[in-house]
Structure 1
Amino acid sequence: MEWRDWELFCEVVEHGGFTAAARVLGHPKSSLSAAVQRLEANLGLRLIERTTRHLRLTDVGETIYRKVRPLFAALHDTHNEALAMSSAVAGTLRIKAPYEFGAHHAGPVACAVMSRYPELAIRIDVEHDIVNPVAENYDIVFAMLEAPLPSAGIVIRRVFTLERGLFAAPALLEKFGEPRTLEELKTLPLLTGPSDPPWAITAPGGAVEHLTVDRARLTSSNAHVRLQAALAGHGVLRVTASYTRAAVAAGQLRRLLPDHACEPLNVHALLPARQFVPAKVRCFLDAMEAHARGDPEAYIRP
């Protein structure tokens, strides 16, 4: 009996089709199709009805999937726990992160960690939506505190607190004038994320004001899209200072109200709740903490 065919059948169903499963698993679509065909031939049953638009399980396929999928999930959990007992940093580390954090923090750390551990492969999916790492089979999901966090079967670990600032292009400031107060800032167009609450801004004297963002000029969950709009002079961008460092140095953006403080961006790592944390996860989170302390060499030293 070829158990791998059973598992690939479950993967195809879980991801909604052969194409999506092939993309996630890194396998040719043809090999997944062949695995399901072999399984159907061995069982003498039709498990999947194939159409040009979508995949549909037969009644018997639905029954088999519901019974078999938990078995493979338990097997993977056991495998991961066994690996966690080892000190070897190897295998595949699956990470999900928002674009801004993934590109400017998780990405550089991943490159350094891979240089240190040649047996480790890393997959980073850069998306804004927060998911449960258990349900989506991630080792680490990086999430911002501004959005609700899932709670079932996970451990939440704080990793980063990132300084944020307000930035705008010289062209925008020539048109509207550079704001010297929060009242003047309110007259400028804003570039926001779809889940942004009112921006909390602390004045030099300690008073906190909340800038409403419901009439933004552009709204996007992708920080790079908002950065492009800011560079084009379409509005004021609130973002981590590290994300705009190059643009500020090149004179393409200017920091506004530098004596005011934006609420920092808190980043948490969501981990599956396990008795043992795999060595690859411990290694990556230690590297992230070293990166946050400004000690990038700490996580690449033997």
Structure 2
Amino acid sequence: MDRFQELSAFIAVVETGGFTAAARIMGESQSSISKAVNALEKRLGVALLHRSTRKVTLTDQGQKYYERTRPLLDEINMADSELASSTLDFTGLVRIAAPSTFGRLHVLPLIPELLSCHPGLKVDLVLSDALRDMVEDRIDLAIRLSPSNDPDSVVRRVGSTSLVCAGSRCYFAQYGVPRTPADLIDHNCLIYGAMTEWSFTGPSGRFSVPVSGSLSSNSAETILAGVQAGVGIGMFYRASLVEELKHADVITVLDEFVNESRDVNLVWPKRRFISTRVRIATDFFTQRLPLRL
């Protein structure tokens, strides 16, 4: 039996909740759908579905198989539709993930231009500081400022941004300005994520300083709000402070000790076929993002 037919039948059963409904939407008989799923399970050597008289549910292995194969079927269907289309206005949804602050400042302002250039596209922009699982969360394209060592992903570097240590003038007026990284032990350092040690560079090379403070968060926006309110000092990507550094309220300190940078990467799942809509978005951000960094 055709493997594509087996896969299509399996996914239809999962998403409709039963063999009868799957047969109806696929225009096949219930017996042919059942035979296709049975053939798939026999070929794989595992049970993908729990069958009962009332409902059909996924086994643990079936759930994993569904999560891996559903995006592949989407891409096959998209490839068929794109090749069958005679127009250049590619359509479809592109789900993009980016860090909250960086995404708000640098990705969101570019979305209107992307949609204007390609009216058939739809964008679902997910702003989160959490490192999203691209397969599980159905992410087509991720914009990341952290190193990416995932062997199942393709990474394209589009630029870099340096780290900066920053605080508000009102905080420094009250507590003084640190002159060396060692001075941070006497300051309220706001902790983003697990960054309880900040890296610096001196005459003898790189070194780390343990830091602590009254506020920690997994949200860079929260740390930035704390700095703006004069709560303490934070470590940021310079690209996330472009608006704040235009004004006099937030300033950087210890600049001579901070020279570390992070790559800005476009990341997408390593698949044999990448849809044209994802390629369009990738090429667009490859061209436009470096101009903002």
Give the TM-score of the pair, scaled to structure 2.
0.71
Rounded to whole Å, the distance in 1 between the matches of 2:253 and 2:13 is: 54
Alignment of 1:178-193 (within 5 A): 178-193=177-192
Match of 2:3 in 1: none
Q: Is structure 2 residue 276 aligned with structure 1 residue 279? A: yes
Q: Is structure 2 residue 237 aligned with structure 1 residue 236? A: no
Rounded to whole Å, the distance in 1 between the matches of 2:207 and 2:92 is: 48
Q: Deviations over 1:217-275 (max 9, x none)?
A: 22212111111111111111111223223223332211112333242123333212223
- Retained in 1: the 8 A contact 2:93–2:123? yes
Rounded to whole Å, the distance in 1 between the matches of 2:250 and 2:69 is: 54
Match of 1:293 in 2: 290
Match of 2:254 in 1: 257
Match of 1:195 in 2: 194
Q: Which of the residues 76, 79, 93 maps onto 1:78?
A: 76
Q: Is structure 2 residue 108 aligned with structure 1 residue 111? A: no
Q: Is the partner of 2:225 in helix, strand or coil? A: helix
Rounded to whole Å, the distance in 2 between the matches of 1:222 and 1:9 is: 40
Q: Is the partner of 2:249 in helix, strand or coil? A: coil
Structure 2 residue identity aligned to 1:77: E
Residue 93 of structure 1: how far off its partner (Å): 0.7
Q: Deviations over 1:8-55 (max 9, x none)?
A: 8846xxxxxxxxxxxxxxxxxxxxxxx769949x89xxxxxxxxxxxx
Match of 1:299 in 2: none
- Retained in 2: the 8 A contact 1:131–1:150? no
Alignment of 1:83-162 (within 5 A): 88-145=89-146, 149-152=149-152, 154-162=153-161
Size of the alignment, in residue pairs?
253
Seen in structure 2, the aligned counterparts of structure 1 residues 185 and 195 have a Cα distance that, compared at 3 Å, is: closer
Larger deviation: 275-284 or 168-177?
275-284
Larger deviation: 62-71 or 188-197?
62-71
Match of 2:210 in 1: 212
Seen in structure 2, the aligned counterparts of structure 1 residues 132 and 149 have a Cα distance that, compared at 3 Å, is: farther
Rounded to whole Å, the distance in 1 between the matches of 2:132 and 2:170 is: 38
- Retained in 2: the 8 A contact 1:168–1:237? yes
Q: Is the partner of 2:119 in helix, strand or coil? A: coil
- Retained in 2: the 8 A contact 1:133–1:270? no
Match of 2:169 in 1: 170
Q: Is the partner of 1:294 in helix, strand or coil? A: helix
Seen in structure 2, the aligned counterparts of structure 1 residues 111 and 192 have a Cα distance that, compared at 3 Å, is: farther
Rounded to whole Å, the distance in 1 between the matches of 2:71 and 2:93 is: 17
Rounded to whole Å, the distance in 1 between the matches of 2:99 and 2:155 is: 16
Structure 1 residue identity aligned to 2:194: S
Structure 2 residue identity aligned to 1:132: D
Rounded to whole Å, the distance in 1 between the matches of 2:193 and 2:21 is: 44
Q: Is the partner of 2:256 in helix, strand or coil? A: coil
Residue 99 of structure 1: how far off its partner (Å): 0.8
Identity %: 19
Rounded to whole Å, the distance in 2 between the matches of 1:131 and 1:150 is: 12
- Retained in 1: the 8 A contact 2:95–2:139? yes
- Retained in 2: the 8 A contact 1:110–1:284? no
- Retained in 2: the 8 A contact 1:109–1:287? no
- Retained in 1: the 8 A contact 2:193–2:219? no
Q: Is the partner of 1:293 in helix, strand or coil? A: helix
- Retained in 2: the 8 A contact 1:130–1:149? no
Q: Which runs of 5+ in 1 are unaligned?
A: 12-34, 44-56, 297-302
Residue 76 of structure 1: how far off its partner (Å): 1.2
Residue 279 of structure 1: how far off its partner (Å): 2.7
- Retained in 2: the 8 A contact 1:83–1:278? no
Q: Deviations over 1:173-220 (max 9, x none)?
A: 1221011222223321111222326322224x573221223x232221
Give the TM-score of the pair, scaled to structure 1.
0.69
Q: CA RMSD in A?
A: 3.6
Seen in structure 2, the aligned counterparts of structure 1 residues 79 and 168 have a Cα distance that, compared at 3 Å, is: same
Rounded to whole Å, the distance in 1 between the matches of 2:12 and 2:230 is: 49
Residue 287 of structure 1: how far off its partner (Å): 2.7
Q: Is the partner of 1:145 in helix, strand or coil? A: coil
Residue 91 of structure 1: how far off its partner (Å): 1.2
Highest CA radius of gyration, 1 or 2?
A: 2
Q: Deviations over 1:41-74 (max 9, x none)?
A: x89xxxxxxxxxxxxx986422489399476444
